[in-house]
Amino acid sequence: MVIFGASPIGFVLIETMQQASDFLSVHQLRNDSRAWTDAMKHCSGRGNLDNASVAFLAALKGAGISYDPAIVLY
């Protein structure tokens, strides 16, 4: 998944649940919502991948952060 506008280079590539968790932690102060907190819990490794993905996307959407889950890099 690519998240747009989230870094000085203009995007962040998220490939693993750990990277999603790290992204959520780094950006938590600006995005303190229940959806963000739920995503942090799900992406911390205590949940399954499907639930973590749904929670992560809900947190991004709730924070107004643009993303494209369909971009694949080879």
Please write the tens of the pLDDT for every residue from 1-44. Answer: 677 765 555 778 888 889 999 999 999 888 889 999 999 999 99
- Determine, yes or no, domain membership for 24: yes
- Determine, yes or no, domain membership for 52: yes
pLDDT digits (tens, 9 = 90+) for 36-64: 999 999 999 777 888 998 999 999 999 99
Give residue 74's pLDDT band: very low, low, confident or very high (50, 70, 90): very low
- Determine, yes or no, domain membership for 53: yes
- Determine, yes or no, domain membership for 73: no
- Rounded to whole angstroms, the Cα distance separating 45 from 13 reads 19
DSSP 39: H
- Determine, yes or no, domain membership for 74: no
Q: 42: domain range?
A: 2-68
| Tokens representing residue 9 in the block | 């280079």
- Total domain count for the chain? 1
